[in-house]
Amino acid sequence: MTERHQCHFRERMTIRGDLDAASFVPWIRRHAAKLGLSQAISHAGSDRVELEVAGPAELIDMMEMGCLLGPIDVWVETIHRTPIDGGSD
């Protein structure tokens, strides 16, 4: 059996909307862990959460989709993604 080579990327996500940071931040951490992504939250407020995520591009896409659908007590209006670097192995 051969191993698949996956490239890892780092992105900054800025999530905006009507956010309950007290419940949304732990939810983000759990969701990232389930996907095997590393994450670091740099800002958490009632209208904006900023975090950095790292991992395969497909899983970062899944993280974005999960946040859009997220917990019932938040309303995500937009997610802006910015690459932090070109990625690494």
Q: In this predicted model, what pLDDT tens digit does every residue of 25-82 receive, in sequence order? A: 999 999 999 999 999 999 999 999 999 999 999 999 999 999 999 888 899 999 999 9
pLDDT digits (tens, 9 = 90+) for 3-36: 454 678 999 999 999 998 788 999 999 999 999 9
Ordered by where they begin, the domains of the chain are 8-83 (3.30.70.100)
Looking at residue 78, its pLDDT comes to: 96
Which residue type sits at 81? R
Banded pLDDT at 1 (limits 50, 70, 90): very low
87: left (phi over 0), alpha (psi -120 to 50) or beta: left
AA identity, residue 70 = G
What type of residue is 3?
E
